[in-house]
Amino acid sequence: MLAQKLHLLRHNFLSFVSSRTGSDLTRRQYDVIVVGGGHAGTEAAAAAARLGAETLLITQKITTIGALSCNPSLGGVGKGQLVREVDALDGLCGRAGDWAGVHFSILNRSKGPAVWGPRAQLDRERYRQFIQSELLSTPRLTVLEGSVDELLVSQPNPEEPGHHRVTGIRLVDGSHPILSSSVVLTTGTFLSGSLFMGQTTSPGGRIGDVPSCAGLSYTLKETLGLRVGRLRTGTPPRIVKESVDLSLAQLQAPDKQPTPFSFLNTHTRCKPEEQLPCYLTHTTPGVETVVRESVHLNCHIQQDTKGPRYCPSIESRVLRFPGRRHQVWLEPEGLTSDLLYPQGLSMTMPPDLQLRLLREIPALHRAEIRTPGYGVQYDFVCPTQLTPSLQVKSTQGLFLAGQINGTTGYEEAAAQGLWAGVNAGRTALSLPPMALSRTQSYIGVLIDDLVGRGVTEPYRMFTSRAEFRTYLRPDNADLRLTPRGFEEVGCVTLRRYEKAVSVRDGLQEALMALQSVALSSTRWREKLGNISLSENKSTTLNGLDLLQYKDVSFEMLASAFPECLSPYFEYSQRLKIEAVYRPHCEKQSREMERIRREESLSLPSDMDYLSLPVSLSQEVREILDRVRPNTLGAATRLPGMTPAGIVQLLNYVLRTGQRNRHTEHRNQSSQKEGGKGQLCASNIPISQ
C-alpha cells in the first residue's frame, strides 16, 4: 500500500513541478526560500514548512532531488548519531533510510552502545523516490526547477545586528524576483564547482549537471564581503557487477535483524532475508604502481586545495602511506541495480588508467566501468562567519547549510539543513532563533565546531568530537530532542511527540520498577544463578544496580520478577543501556552543574595556560592564552572552548586554590606557633 502511494505521489510530484517556472509561480513572496535540493536543502525546506512557514525549494533539476551523489549509504560511527537526531526532530533522512535500506548493520558493536554506529546501504532509486514523495505531501512547500542567479540584498534592519539584509532571489531566466524573509543556501559542491578527470577540467558540481551561477558566488564574495575558501572531494568509478569475481572477495553479511534509523519505525521495508551483502577486498602493489605512474596526468591530485582527510582518494592514500594494503568495500547500489560502488577507490586519473588500476585488484581483474571516477573542487564560506543558528552574522535573513559550510557527508548536511531551516522559518515568523548546545546533541557539537573553530579541511563527524558521548547516545536521541522540538522549537509533529512522551513515561516506570526490586547479593545469586557478583559484596542491590553488570540482562530480571518487570519487555535494550551509562551521565550532570555554580570563579591573571598540567587540547590552550578570560563563565563563552576543557580548568583552579590556601594557613601557623610545624605536618591533607 505504501509503495503504491509513493509511486502515485512521485508521479504527481514530477508532473506538477516539471512544468513550473519562475514566470508562472502563483505567488511572488515566501517566508523562506531554500536553494538546493540535496540532503541539506530537502531537510531545510521540510523543516521550515513544518514550522508553519510558506516555503519555496529551488533546485536545478527536479529529478535529482534526494539523489545520493556519492556513496549509496547512510549513517556510521558518529554519522548514525546525526541521523537519529535529525529523525528525533522529525527530519526525513532516517525514515528514508528505513524505506530504502538494503543492508543494515551496527558498526562499532564491540564497544559500548554510546559509540555504536547505525548504518545502512541504500537503494538509490528508492531513497530518491521517498524524499521526493515526502516533499510533495508536505503542506506549505512549493518546489521550483530553476537556477538562482543572485541574492537580493537591501539595507539591514537597524534594530538587529548585521550590515545587510537578504530579501529574496533572482533566477537566471531573468524572471521577476521572488521575495522572502529568509533564504537558505545549500549549494553543496555546485558553488563555482569544477570537475576534474585526468588533465581535463570542466565546470560542474556533479557529473551531468551544471554548476551554480557565477552571480551567486559574486554576491557572497563581493556584495556581502564573505570570506570564501576552496575545498575538494571525489567519487570512485561505478563498476558493472557482472564483471566482478566476488568469489575472490570476502563476504560481509548484514545484521540478521535490521535496526531502523527512525524512532517511528519498528521494522525496515527490506525484510531480513532480502538484504544484500557487501564484499571486502584490498589493494595490491600493482595499484600503487599505477598511481605513481599517473601522477603527472592527474591535475586534481597535484593541486593544494584541501581534500577530505577521512575519505581520501586512492591516489592520496597511496602517496601518503606507501607500501600499505588498503581496504576496498564493494557495495550494492540497489536491489535491481547492476552496479557496485567501490568504497575506498575515489580517483581522478584518466579513465583508461582507472580501469588499469581496478584490474590490479584480484576480484576486479575483469572489471568494467560504467561511469568513471572524478574529482570536484568548489567554494565554501568560512563557517566562523555564522551564528549558532547558522545565520550569516553580517547578513540578516541569510542561512547556510551543508558543504557550503565546509563539511562532508550526507548526515552532516542533513543535520545543518534541518537546523538552518528551523531558524530560517523562525526568523520569517518573527520568532527568536534557537541554538543547540554541544552538551545536548551531536548536531550541537557539529555546529559549535563549525562556527567556533572553522575548518581547514572537509569536516566529518566522529563520536570522539563529543565530550559527553555517554549521554549523547543513538538510543536516546528521541528523549533528548523530540520534546524540545515540539514544545520549544515547533518542528516536531504531535504524532511523534506523543510517541516520545509515551516512551519516556514507560522507561521511567520501568526504572522505578527496577529500583523497587532490592535484594542482597546472596539472594540475587540464588535468583539468577551463575552471575559475576562478588560473594564479599554485602550491600543491598536493586534491579537497576544489577543491570549494570555485563552478564545480567533485563530478560533475566523479568523472568525472576515477572509481575513487576514483564510489562516493560519492549524497552529491554534501552533499559540495559540506561543502566550501564547512568553513573557516567550522573557524573557529567554534576560536572555541568558545578560549572554553572562556579561561573563567577576568578581565573588567575598570570596563569600559564600553555603549560598547565591538565588534559587540554593545544587549540584550547591557545584560545585561553590569547584571550585570558577573567572568570570561568567568560571562558565558557569563548568560541572553540569545550565543556571538557572547562571541567579540567575548573578542577585545576579549585585544586590549586585549596592547596594554596592550605599552604598559606600552614605557613601562618608555623610563624605563630614557632616549633609546632610537626603538628601541621601531621594534619590530614586536604583531598586533591
| Single-letter code of the amino acid located at 593 | E
pTM: 0.88
Q: By mean pLDDT, which of 4-13, 153-162, 663-672 is the weakest?
A: 663-672
Region of residue 401 (left: phi > 0; alpha: psi -120 to 50; beta: else): beta
**Positions of CATH 3.50.50.60 in the chain:** 28-233+377-488
Give the confidence band of 535 by pLDDT, cuts at 50, 70, 90. low
| Cell numbers that stand for 671 in this block | 610563624
pLDDT band at 665 (very low <50, low <70, confident <90, very high): very low
Which residue stretches of 137-195 are H helix?
none
Q: Kind and range of the H or E element at 321? A: none
Task: Name the most confidently modeled range: 205-219, 352-366, 548-562.
Answer: 352-366
pLDDT at 422 over 50: yes
CATH 1.10.150.570 fits 602-655, yes or no: yes
Q: Which CATH architecture has domain 238-373?
A: Beta Barrel (2.40)
| Contacts of range 603-608, beta carbons closer than 8 Å, 24 or more positions apart | 603/628, 603/629, 603/630, 603/631, 603/632, 603/635, 603/649, 603/653, 604/653, 605/630
Mean of per-residue pLDDT scores for the chain: 88
More confident residue, 85 or 6: 85
Determine the residue type at 180.
Answer: S
Band the pLDDT of 589: cuts 50, 70, 90.
confident
Q: State the greatest distance between any 2 C-alpha atoms of the chain, in Å, as a whole number.
A: 97
Lowest mean pLDDT among 276-290, 318-332, 609-623: 609-623
Residue pLDDT, tens place only, 360-405: 999 999 999 999 999 999 999 999 999 999 999 999 999 999 999 9
As a whole number, mean pLDDT of residues 260-285 equals: 97
DSSP states of 595-646? HHHTTTPBPPTT--GGG-SS---HHHHHHHHHH--SBHHHHHTSTT--HHHH
- Residues 145 and 127: beta-carbon distance below 8 Å: no
Q: Which residues contact 304 (CB under 8 A, 6 or more apart)?
A: none
The rounded distance, in Å, linking the Cα atoms of 120 and 342 is 16
Label the pairing between strands 374-381 and 228-235: antiparallel
Per mean pLDDT, which range of 218-222, 349-353, 513-517, 683-687 is the poorest? Answer: 683-687
* Helices and strands in the chain, H and E counts: 23, 23
Task: Compute the distance between CA of residue 468 and CA of residue 480 in angstroms, rounded to an integer.
Answer: 13
| CATH no. of 28-233+377-488 | 3.50.50.60
Q: How far apart are CA 256 and CA 109, in angstroms?
A: 14
**Which residues, including other chains, have CB under 8 Å from residue 200's CB and lie 6 or more apart?**
none
Task: Dig out the grid coordinates for 83 from the structure.
Answer: 541521523
Cα–Cα dist 669/430, whole Å:
64
> Confidence band (pLDDT; 50, 70, 90) for 595?
confident
C-beta of residue 471 within 8 angstroms of C-beta of residue 581: yes
Task: Check whether 659 has a pLDDT greater than 50.
Answer: no
As annotated, the residues of the chain forming the CATH 1.10.150.570 domain(s) are: 602-655
- The count of residues in the chain is 688
Residues of the chain with CATH 2.40.30.260: 238-373
According to the per-residue pLDDT averaged within each range, which of 92-106, 162-176, 460-474, 673-687 is highest? 92-106
Q: Percent of the chain scored above 70 by pLDDT?
A: 89
Q: Which residue has the higher pLDDT, 663 or 50?
A: 50
Q: CA 162, 164, 169, 171 torsion: positive or negative?
A: negative
Cα–Cα nearest to 540, from 558, 552, 524: 524
Looking at residue 106, its pLDDT comes to 97
Output the pLDDT for position 22.
Answer: 47
Is residue 350 a contact partner of residue 294, using CB atoms and an 8 Å limit? yes
Beta pairing partners, 282:
327
Mutual orientation of helices 79-88 and 410-428 as an angle, nearest 10°? 30
Q: Report pLDDT for 2.
A: 53
Query: Rounded to the nearest 5°, which phi and psi values hold at 490?
Result: 95, 15
Average pLDDT over residues 9-22: 47
d(CA 650, CA 369) in angstroms, rounded, equals: 58
Out of 343-352, 607-616, 634-643, 660-669, pick the least confident: 660-669
Does residue 408 contact residue 235 with C-beta atoms inside 8 Å? no
pLDDT reported for residue 682: 28
Lookup: cell for 666: 600552614
CA distance 446 to 408: 12
Can you give the pLDDT at residue 210? 76
Give the highest mean pLDDT range of 242-246, 521-525, 667-671: 242-246
User: How confident is the model at residue 310, as a pLDDT?
Assistant: 59
Q: Is residue 554 scored above 60 in pLDDT?
A: yes
Q: From 516, 511, 512, 517, select the one nearest 571 (Cα to Cα).
A: 511
Which one is predicted more confidently, 439 or 248? 248
Residue 287 pLDDT grade (very low, low, confident, very high; cuts 50, 70, 90): very high
Residue 353 has pLDDT above 50, yes or no: yes
Strands (E) across 406-545 are located at: 518-520, 540-542
Residues 6+ apart with CB under 8 A from 525: 531, 533, 535
The Cα 536–Cα 521 span in angstroms is 9
Three-state secondary structure call for residue 405 = helix
- Strands (DSSP E) contained in 13-72 are 29-35, 55-59
**Euclidean distance between CA atoms 115 and 107, whole angstroms:** 9
- The pLDDT, as a whole number, for residue 687 is 27
- Of the pLDDT bands very low, low, confident and very high (cuts 50, 70, 90), residue 670 is very low
| C-alpha gyration radius of the chain | 28
Residues 6 or more apart whose Cβ sits within 8 Å of residue 159: none
Query: Which percentage of the chain shows pLDDT scores above 90?
Result: 67
Strands 250-252 and 398-400: unpaired
Q: What per-residue confidence (pLDDT) applies to 335? A: 96
- pLDDT given for residue 441 in this prediction: 95
The mean per-residue pLDDT over the stretch 270-292 comes to: 97
| Residue 501: predicted pLDDT | 97
- Supply the DSSP symbol for 381: E
Q: Is the pLDDT of residue 177 over 50?
A: yes
Q: Between 401 and 208, whose confidence is greater?
A: 401
Set of cell numbers at residue 398: 541569510
Among 41, 82, 86, smallest CA distance to 65 is for 41
For 101-211, where are the alpha helices, taking DSSP H only? 124-136
All three cell numbers of 484, joined, read 524540545
108 sits in the region (left: phi over 0; alpha: psi -120 to 50; else beta) called: left
* pLDDT attached to residue 466: 87
Angle between helices 93-100 and 79-88 in degrees, nearest 10: 110
Compute the Cα dihedral for 496, 501, 504, 509 and give only its sign: negative
Can you tell me the distance from the alpha carbon of 156 to that of 185, in angstroms, rounded to the nearest whole number?
19
Residues 34-53 pLDDT 10s: 999 999 999 999 999 999 99
Strands 374-381 and 164-171: unpaired
β 278-282/339-343 pair status: unpaired
Written as nine digits, the cell of 334 is 540497489
Residue 307 has pLDDT above 80, yes or no: no
Instruction: Determine the angle formed by the axes of helices 93-100 and 124-136, rounding to 10 degrees.
Output: 140
Q: At 29, list the grid cell.
A: 513572496
Check whether 29 has a pLDDT greater than 90: yes
Cα torsion 376, 381, 384, 387 to 10°: value is -120
Q: How many CB atoms lie within 10 A of CB 562?
A: 10
pLDDT tens-digit readout, 315-348 = 989 988 999 999 999 999 999 999 999 999 999 9
β-pairing, 178-185 with 164-171? Answer: antiparallel
Higher pLDDT: 683 or 461? It is 461
**Is there a contact between 300 and 375 (Cβ–Cβ < 8 Å)?**
yes
Question: Which three cell numbers, joined as nine digits, stand for 15?
Answer: 508532473
Predicted confidence (pLDDT) per residue in 396-416, tens digit: 999 999 999 999 999 999 999
Contact by Cβ (8 Å): 282, 251: no
